[in-house]
Amino acid sequence: MREAVMEKIGQLYEEMVAIRRHLHQHPELSFHETKTAQYIADYYETLGIPYEKHVGGNGVVATLVGGQPGKTVALRADFDALPIQDEKDVPYKSTVDGVMHACGHDGHTAALLCLAKALQAHQAKLPGTVVFLHQHAEELAPGGAKPMIEAGVLENVDAVFGTHLWIDAPVGTVQTATSEFFAGADAFDITIQGQGGHGAQPHQTKDSILIASQLVTSLQQIVSRSLDPLHPAVISVGTFHAGEAFNVIADQATLKGTVRTYSTCDQDSIKRAMESHIKGACMSHGATYTFNYHKGYPPLVNHKEEAELVIQSVMEVPGVQYAYYIDPVMTGEDFAYYMLERPGAFYLTGAQKEEHNYPHHHPKFDFNERALPICAKTLFQCYLAYQQK
């Protein structure tokens, strides 16, 4: 049965590419993926696999009950896009202005749909049950995973596996970690309220730009001087807005950014330290401030046994040449919520292009479509290996 499913997945390569390119041409932003969700539902309708729509929002969940006894394993793929203008010169370029699949979620969806098709062809010989989790809104907190879990998608599920097509790794590689893998991803915004005035008379102002500039620098001291150097963390200021005229000192400046950590203790420490730095800078200049800290996705912590299962089993997958552990990465993933509820693991499937390899979330992002069947096969292998453990 295993070899037959693997062969079937390989035969569906062109269909995977066609699905992926269709979705790439018709992207939808987080929490607005109504047409994409309908496309997924229609696919399962055609296959005759039972499914539910509007799960926790725009989520779609399909269930395939095998003909042999076994465990229930959930496999997850996300399907939202990003607010980025597609700048690629390809036939499948996004047709939606200012929106594109710049992270590979279209590929995740195509791989999982065709995996469902391949498994259905051998349903009578399948052990246990496969739950196909098509999740909306991974890119935007509070995300789609949590409401889908609250809607009951993990009821009776024994384990959950998911993967991400990864542009930083060559096709044929699989990477994961046995504990912390992706960081907790928080956001913050700071507004400095000073007193504006003429650029020629700075002594009569409370310069919000000066204060905010000092903060951009001083916030970096939190990680370097307030945290244990063995605890990875990142504080990044992403936007700085102030003023409208070259000869006017702005009365207000706004900073926005992100904090990445692997523990709630470090998260709380950073938040307290940020407040202290902001307060000190504003007091020294007689300004006031507002500080909003928004907790996002928690750290994604793999379960050790399931992560080891991934590495040990995927080497049996046709097309996989290397499978190995890597250091944690600082990107965020709401797959973390599934790991808080059930055993499982998240892993990266190499999808690097031979040339013009632009990073995730870049306007020219694309991935090597030869990774699609590997993505589907490794998910199947994880499901099968868990049945046998």
Residue 324 CA to its chain's centroid (Å): 20
One domain, residues 55 and 113: yes
For the annotated binding site for Mn(2+), the residues are 103, 105, 139, 164, 361
- Domain end marker among 297, 324, 354: 297
Distance in angstroms between the alpha carbons of the first and the last residue of the chain: 18
**Strand 127-135 to 68-78 pairing:** parallel
Number of domains into which the chain is organized: 2
Measure the CA–CA gap between 331 and 169, rounded to whole angstroms.
15
One domain, residues 129 and 271: no
pLDDT of residue 389: 87
pLDDT of residue 299: 95
Instruction: Tell which residue, 265, 301, 298, has the closest CA to residue 142.
Output: 298
One domain, residues 190 and 227: yes
One domain, residues 267 and 303: no
pLDDT of residue 106: 98
CATH of residue 292: 3.30.70.360
- Domain end marker among 256, 272, 297: 297
Helix (H, G, I), strand (E, B) or coil at 89: coil
One domain, residues 203 and 167: no
pLDDT of residue 264: 86
- Enumerate the active-site residues: 80, 138
Q: Which residues are CB-neighbours of 96 under 8 A, at least 6 positions away?
A: 26, 27, 28
Say what angle helices 34-47 and 13-25 make with each other, to 10 degrees. 150
Measure the CA–CA gap between 25 and 109, rounded to whole angstroms.
14
Q: Which residues are CB-neighbours of 277 under 8 A, at least 6 positions away?
A: 215, 218, 219, 221, 222
Contact between 177 and 311 under an 8 Å Cβ cutoff? The reply is no
CATH of residue 67: 3.40.630.10
- The tokens of 18 are what? 């066609």
- Domain end marker among 262, 297, 332: 297
One domain, residues 151 and 241: no
Helix (H, G, I), strand (E, B) or coil at 118: helix
**In terms of pTM, does the model score above 0.85?**
yes
One domain, residues 149 and 128: yes
Instruction: Report CA-CA distances (Å) from 99 to 134, 189, 282, 303, 320.
Output: 20, 24, 38, 35, 32
pLDDT in tens, the chain (389 residues): 999 999 999 999 999 999 999 999 999 999 999 999 999 999 999 999 999 999 999 999 999 999 999 999 999 999 999 999 999 999 999 999 999 999 999 999 999 999 999 999 999 999 999 999 999 999 999 999 999 999 999 999 999 999 999 999 999 999 999 999 999 999 999 999 999 999 999 999 999 999 999 999 999 999 999 999 999 999 999 999 999 999 999 999 999 999 999 998 999 999 999 999 999 999 999 999 999 999 999 999 999 999 999 999 999 999 999 999 999 999 999 999 999 999 999 999 999 998 889 999 999 999 999 999 999 999 999 999 999 98
103 φ/ψ angles, rounded to the nearest 5 degrees: -140, -10
One domain, residues 146 and 37: yes
Instruction: Tell which residue, 273, 344, 351, has the closest CA to residue 304.
Output: 344
One domain, residues 142 and 208: no
* Domain region containing 34: 2-180+299-388
Q: Which residues are CB-neighbours of 139 under 8 A, at least 6 positions away?
A: 30, 78, 80, 81, 82, 103, 105
One domain, residues 50 and 176: yes
Q: Which residues are CB-neighbours of 384 under 8 A, at least 6 positions away?
A: 2, 127, 313
One domain, residues 333 and 322: yes
One domain, residues 18 and 160: yes
Q: Which residues are CB-neighbours of 213 under 8 A, at least 6 positions away?
A: none
